[in-house]
Structure 1
């Protein structure tokens, strides 16, 4: 069942199995607030069991672009379009959030972003490949993030 993320009242609904569930919920709420304020988009996630195509697409981009395979179990995902961008998010049990941003025309912005929930270690599969910058969030505490630019073609379906 889809869940509309409320950034006014942060809830760990759907994320309970994560050892950093509260921090991951704050990270998810932080993303919801950003898209609501910038694009007036309602950030809605669905359980991983219902979001196979979104998760498969994110994993394909990671594997094809950087030979990255995420070891943590996906808990939730979402996919949506705003102002010429197609975005896909996957939230993992470890506290990791990955997003794939791809311009709908295929010419503009194309990137993969990683965000680490407060209290989680950098996953082994990312530790030697990326440096993570820190940012403070009222909803999520300290978020560490990194990204890479997508070089290949992965047009949204």
Structure 2
């Protein structure tokens, strides 16, 4: 069942099995607020079992570009298009959200982003490859994030 994320009332719906569910829900709400304010887009997620195409696309890019396999199981995901940008998000049980921003017409605007929920350790599969910067969010507390640019076409 799809769930439209309400950033006014942060909810752990769909994320309950995460040990950092509250912080992960804050990150998800933070993303929902961004897309609503910037693009007037309602950020809707669905359980991982119903979002196989989005998850496979993200996992394929991670594997092909950097030989990364995420150990934590995905809880939910979303995949949508705004203007000429295809976006995909996967939220993992560990508290890690990964997003892919991909434009067909501008290869310089293709990236994979990682965010860490407050209280979450950097996953081993990312620890030696990325440095994480910090930023503050009213909805998510302290967010640590990193990214890499996508080189190939998907």
8 A Cα contact 2:112 2:149, kept in partner:
yes
* Alignment partners' CA distance in 1, 2:78 and 2:108: 21
SS in 2 for 1:88: strand
Q: State the shift of 1:108 in Å.
A: 4.5
* Alignment partners' CA distance in 1, 2:115 and 2:80: 19
Q: Is it true that 1:122 corresponds to 2:118 in the alignment?
A: no
SS in 1 for 2:18: coil
Residue 52 of structure 1 is matched in structure 2 by 52
Deviations along 1:90-128, one digit per CA (max 9) or x if unpaired, are 000000000011003253510000000000000000000
Residue 153 of structure 2 is matched in structure 1 by 153
Residue 111 of structure 2 is matched in structure 1 by 111
Q: Please report the TM-score for the alignment, with normalisation by the length of structure 2.
A: 0.98
SS in 2 for 1:79: strand
Q: Could you list the runs of 5+ residues in structure 2 that have no partner in the other structure?
A: none
Output the aligned Cα RMSD: 0.8
Find runs of 4+ consecutive structure 1 residues off by over 2 angstroms: 104-108
Matching of residues 6-155 of structure 1 within 5 Å: 6-105=6-105, 107-154=107-154
Deviations along 1:21-69, one digit per CA (max 9) or x if unpaired, are 0000000000000000000000000000000010000000000000000
* Alignment partners' CA distance in 1, 2:107 and 2:93: 33
8 A Cα contact 1:106 1:153, kept in partner:
no
Q: Please report the TM-score for the alignment, with normalisation by the length of structure 1.
A: 0.96
8 A Cα contact 2:107 2:151, kept in partner:
no
Q: Could you list the runs of 5+ residues in structure 1 that have no partner in the other structure?
A: none
8 A Cα contact 2:14 2:76, kept in partner:
yes
* Alignment partners' CA distance in 2, 1:10 and 1:31: 12
